[in-house]
């Protein structure tokens, strides 16, 4: 199974067109936040649907340090995953998603999760990030791209993974996370393929 993108090259920076946060005159501002092009091929026999999960593997575990001008987020503190895109039940007849197919623009309170013509949207981790913010809280469905802390010393890596599954639909409720989707996929993954993009709002991030 193979995966590629016309929007970025594996291991290279993600263009700002696909980011939720971009540099502004007085700090980061909302970006175009368009979901990137993804295509997959050489699917295994028996594939009945596809799923996509994109996660940032470099999210700092010290939220008290994030986006502060008086300190930096140290490179070597522990990191966790943050899901930016959860899409399941993609028809096996589809072999690519066009630019902006599952998201365009960063919307306060999020885009609607649930069924679309190209699959079923889960909620990404901006849902938890903004849970206590009265102006931003909501279910963030579909793709919402990078907005790493501007003071983080570490370059962030965004892993886009496409899964070939042996079922047409995963057993999931109306509201589900990336973790829920991965649990539902257990025993149904025929193959998978990943591609990685990098992004940072720090002026000189470390790899």
- Separation of alpha carbons 117 and 115, rounded Å: 7
> Which pair of structure tokens corresponds to residue 153?
């010393």
CA dihedral over 119, 120, 124, 130, signed as positive or negative = positive
What local confidence, expressed as pLDDT, does residue 5 receive? 98
- Separation of alpha carbons 80 and 112, rounded Å: 25
Domains of the chain, by residue range, sit at 2-101+108-199
pLDDT in tens, 70-113: 999 999 999 999 999 999 999 999 999 999 999 999 999 999 99
Q: Report the side by side order of strands in the sheet with 2-4.
A: 2-4, 38-41, 96-97
What local confidence, expressed as pLDDT, does residue 88 receive? 98
Share of the chain above pLDDT 90, in %: 99
Phi, psi (rounded to 5 degrees) for 73? -85, 115
What local confidence, expressed as pLDDT, does residue 204 receive? 95
Structure-token match 């996509």, residue found: 52
Half-sphere exposure of 155 (CA within 13 A, CB side): 13
Its CATH class, for the domain covering 2-101+108-199, is alpha beta
What DSSP string describes 151-194?
TBSBPEEEEEEEEEESSSS----SS--HHHHHHHHTTTEEEEEE
Mean pLDDT of 167-186: 97
């Amino acid at each position: 199974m193979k995966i590629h993108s016309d929007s970025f090259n594996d291991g290279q920076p993600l263009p700002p067109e696909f980011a939720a946060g971009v540099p502004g005159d007085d700090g980061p501002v909302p970006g175009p936040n368009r979901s990137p092009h993804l295509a997959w091929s050489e699917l295994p026999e028996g594939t009945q649907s596809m799923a996509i999960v994109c996660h940032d593997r470099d999210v700092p575990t010290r939220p008290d340090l994030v986006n502060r001008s008086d300190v930096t987020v140290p490179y070597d503190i522990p990191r966790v995953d943050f899901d930016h895109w959860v899409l399941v039940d993609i028809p096996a007849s589809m072999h690519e998603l066009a630019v902006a197919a599952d998201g365009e623009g960063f919307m306060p309170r999020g885009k609607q999760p649930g069924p679309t013509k190209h699959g079923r949207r889960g909620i990404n981790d901006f849902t938890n990030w903004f849970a206590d913010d009265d102006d931003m809280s909501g279910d963030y469905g579909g793709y919402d791209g990078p907005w790493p802390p501007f003071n983080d010393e570490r370059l962030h890596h965004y892993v886009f993974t496409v899964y070939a599954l042996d079922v047409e639909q995963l057993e999931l409720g109306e509201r589900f996370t990336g973790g829920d989707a991965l649990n539902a996929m257990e025993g149904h993954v025929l193959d998978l393929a990943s591609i990685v993009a990098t992004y940072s709002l720090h002026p000189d991030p470390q790899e």
